[in-house]
């Protein structure tokens, strides 16, 4: 029983999927937990040392024992090397993404396995561990920040991690309170899910007018002219087959109030993306894609939003995932083990398609 917690290779990725208190509980049950050193991880290494973890150098997972499960969050180094281990991570590989196809090829060549955290689901198909709430909260905040920048109510929008969610919100609240005209209207699609809940609570903390849509409001499949009457759209639904298009490509030129789209779900390379006015993710240094100049339309599509709030999001996710890590090693309830078999079946279904 060996769990290897790797360092993230993206400099802005400060989150971690396992906290020291959960690591200590695994160690107490006989699991060998190895943790790689990281200069950016939000949780200091001392807590893991005290928990009984073995400490390894960053990137050491490549030489980990064959039976180790390698736990991470975001992408692996894109060096094309074969992958021989069982990796637990967000692979973004099962919806025809070009980078995902390359990742699956590496697993196919190396004989390893991708246990994708996005597809770790219960019998009803609901994800058992997700960063959704904090993605929604941070995504709403960054989108509103961009709208305020359009109106010249704030200046620099370079992003960096915040110690606490309220510190992220407070400068935006100050700018909104200074507005002498009507405050922006916000439409949240997918309002009843984890992501939508986080987005709604961020908007409410800022005192904004919010319209909430979920499956009932989008069941007719579009077109959705009401979207363009709002100032800000927050897309919080996961792209999947049958997903309606909310913002078609021709929205760039149409008359509208809409000037900021927060594509919090952020899957622009997927054929199923409901936002068709952009084709790439945005970054912490440059968070907004200018889709149109006249009238202005920008898209916020940062793909690691919860890392802007690394402590709160790591605490939340680790608590959700822990029972299923016990199940992975046969130390928990049987139903906590079956989610991994579903993840294996999803991987096995998609790998043959890349041959």
Helix axes 310-328, 132-150, angle to 10 degrees: 160
Report d(CA 234, CA 225) in Å as an integer. Answer: 15
- Which own/partner contact pairs does 8-11 have at CB distance under 8 Å and 24+ positions apart? 8/38, 8/40, 8/41, 8/72, 8/73, 8/74, 9/74, 9/75, 9/76, 9/77, 10/74, 10/75, 10/304, 11/40
Q: In what order do the strands lie in the sheet with 113-116?
A: 54-56, 32-36, 2-5, 69-71, 86-89, 113-116
What stretch of H or E contains 56? strand 54-56
Q: Nearest-CA neighbor of 321 among 135, 75, 71?
A: 71
Of 85, 87, 92, 230, which is the active-site residue?
92
To the query of whether residue 92 is one of the catalytic residues in this protein, the response is yes
Assign residue 111 a region: left if phi > 0, alpha if psi is -120 to 50, beta otherwise?
A: left
> Phi/psi of residue 261, each to 5°?
-115, 125
User: 328 CB contacts (<8 Å, ≥6 apart)?
Assistant: 3, 69, 337, 340
Residue bearing tokens 């695994």: 26
To the query of whether residue 74 is one of the catalytic residues in this protein, the response is yes
Catalytic residues: 74, 92
């Amino acid at each position: 029983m060996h769990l290897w917690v790797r360092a993230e290779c993206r400099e802005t990725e400060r989150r971690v999927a396992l906290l020291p208190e959960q690591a200590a509980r695994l160690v107490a049950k006989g699991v060998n937990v190895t943790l790689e050193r990281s200069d950016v991880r939000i949780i200091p290494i001392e807590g893991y040392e005290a928990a009984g973890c073995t400490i390894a150098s960053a990137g050491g997972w490549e030489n980990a024992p064959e039976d180790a499960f390698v736990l991470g969050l975001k992408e692996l180094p894109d060096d094309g090397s074969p992958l021989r281990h069982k990796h637990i991570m967000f692979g973004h590989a099962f919806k025809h993404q070009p980078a995902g196809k390359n990742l699956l090829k590496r697993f196919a060549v190396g004989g390893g396995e991708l246990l994708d955290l996005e597809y770790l689901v219960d019998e009803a198909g609901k994800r058992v561990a997700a960063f959704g709430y904090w993605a929604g909260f941070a995504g709403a905040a960054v989108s509103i920040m961009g709208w305020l920048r359009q109106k010249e109510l704030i200046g620099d929008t370079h992003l960096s991690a915040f110690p606490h969610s309220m510190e992220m919100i407070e400068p935006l609240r100050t700018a909104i309170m200074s507005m002498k005209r009507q405050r922006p209207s916000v439409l949240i699609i997918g309002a009843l899910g984890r992501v939508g809940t986080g987005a709604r609570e961020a908007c409410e903390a800022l005192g904004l007018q919010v319209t909430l849509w979920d499956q009932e409001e989008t069941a007719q499949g579009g077109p959705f002219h009401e979207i363009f009457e709002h100032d800000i759209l927050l897309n919080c639904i996961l792209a999947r087959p049958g997903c309606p298009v909310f913002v078609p490509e021709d929205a760039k030129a149409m008359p509208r109030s809409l000037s900021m789209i927060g594509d919090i779900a952020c899957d622009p390379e997927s054929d199923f993306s409901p936002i068709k006015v952009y084709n790439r993710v945005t970054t912490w240094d440059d968070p907004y894609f200018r889709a149109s100049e006249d009238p202005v339309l920008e898209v916020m599509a940062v793909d690691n939003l919860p890392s802007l709030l690394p402590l709160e999001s790591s605490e939340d996710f680790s608590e959700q995932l822990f029972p299923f890590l016990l199940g992975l090693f046969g130390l928990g309830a049987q139903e906590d083990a079956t989610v991994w078999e579903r993840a294996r079946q999803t991987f096995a279904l998609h790998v043959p398609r890349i041959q």
